[in-house]
């Protein structure tokens, strides 16, 4: 356990008591402070009363499922990183989870060491945001100091991972950002499966471009992505 870990509090939302006990014991032994909820309703109440550094959230929960918990959390403007646990390894489920605001996705059964590594990566990224001046491309404005994203003067509700993707793309705009560069900035050596970035890009494009006439997020087939005005593509 590092001194750094001892100040990190995690909310584990899992209705299977044996798995919750195993995960809780393991993470407590790693030095994290743990809080527990057995269903989505309890989780939402705890999240109103307490501030957590990270949420480990099961997808299939009684009363209020993981998707609804995540959606309500993001609607409140809460950007706490969410690691979603699920027994389903389908692309559609991942897209739904990321769309609701999850930052990462771990399929059961999983190794405890991988869970710990993903938690560390999410917390490291959440704490590593650098404040600098607002970035603008056309009517799209991103302020890294507040993590606020606006288009046509209206705030966009993006997941924390979508915000990090946007930050990289706007920093490099109108230059191309390769898929490898983006994955390295987001996940470093802990690369997720091949569907994860695609799911995040799908959700980012839906929020960023679909309601608007001018498209700003462009895919360059086989190469990467860029944020640019049409004249710069």
Q: What average pLDDT does the chain have?
A: 87
Both 113 and 140 in one domain: the answer is no
**Total count of domains within the chain:** 2
In this predicted model, what pLDDT tens digit does every residue of 155-183 receive, in sequence order?
898 888 899 899 999 988 888 999 999 98
With a cut of 90, say whether residue 190 has pLDDT above it: no
Burial (CB < 10 A; 0-12, 13-18, 19+), residue 83, is buried
pLDDT at 129: 47
pLDDT-derived band of residue 56, with 50, 70 and 90 as boundaries?
very high
Strand partners, 136: 141
CATH code for position 121: 3.40.50.2300
CATH code for position 220: 1.10.10.10
Both 52 and 104 in one domain: the answer is yes
- Boundary residue ending a domain (93, 127, 161): 127
With a cut of 60, say whether residue 6 has pLDDT above it: no
pLDDT at 233: 67
Both 123 and 142 in one domain: the answer is no
Both 193 and 218 in one domain: the answer is yes
In degrees, to the nearest 5, what angle opens at C-alpha 94 toward C-alphas 89 and 99? 165
Both 119 and 151 in one domain: the answer is no
Q: Tokens 């944020």 correspond to what residue? A: 227
Both 158 and 62 in one domain: the answer is no
Both 153 and 222 in one domain: the answer is yes
Both 48 and 88 in one domain: the answer is yes
Q: What is the mean pLDDT of residues 196-211?
A: 90
Both 93 and 157 in one domain: the answer is no
Both 162 and 106 in one domain: the answer is no
Both 109 and 210 in one domain: the answer is no
Q: Which domain does 210 fall in, by range?
A: 135-232
- Boundary residue ending a domain (110, 127, 144): 127
With a cut of 60, say whether residue 131 has pLDDT above it: no
- Boundary residue ending a domain (104, 127, 150): 127
Q: What is the mean pLDDT of residues 47-58?
A: 94
d(Cα 138, Cα 182) in Å, to the nearest integer?
22
Both 118 and 186 in one domain: the answer is no
């Amino acid at each position: 356990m590092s001194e750094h870990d001892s100040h990190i509090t995690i909310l584990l939302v899992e209705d299977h008591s044996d798995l919750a006990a195993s995960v809780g014991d393991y993470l407590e032994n790693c030095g994290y402070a743990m809080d527990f909820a057995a269903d989505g309703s309890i989780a939402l109440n705890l999240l109103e009363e307490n501030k957590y550094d990270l949420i480990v959230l099961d997808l299939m929960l009684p009363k209020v499922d993981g998707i609804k918990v995540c959606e309500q959390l993001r609607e409140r403007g809460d950007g706490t990183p969410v690691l979603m646990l699920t027994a389903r390894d389908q692309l559609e489920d991942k897209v739904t989870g990321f769309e609701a605001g999850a930052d990462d996705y771990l399929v059961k059964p999983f190794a405890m060491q991988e869970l710990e590594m993903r938690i560390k990566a999410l917390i490291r990224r959440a704490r590593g945001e650098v404040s600098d001046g607002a970035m603008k491309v056309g009517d799209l404005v991103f302020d890294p100091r507040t993590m606020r994203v606006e288009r046509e003067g209206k705030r966009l509700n993006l997941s924390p991972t979508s915000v990090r993707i946007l930050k990289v793309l706007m920093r490099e705009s109108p230059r191309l950002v390769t898929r490898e560069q983006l994955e390295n900035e987001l996940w470093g050596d802990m690369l997720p499966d091949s569907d994860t970035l695609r799911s995040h890009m799908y959700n980012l494009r839906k929020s960023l471009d679909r309601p608007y006439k001018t498209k700003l997020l462009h895919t360059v087939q086989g190469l990467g992505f860029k944020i640019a005005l049409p004249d710069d593509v």
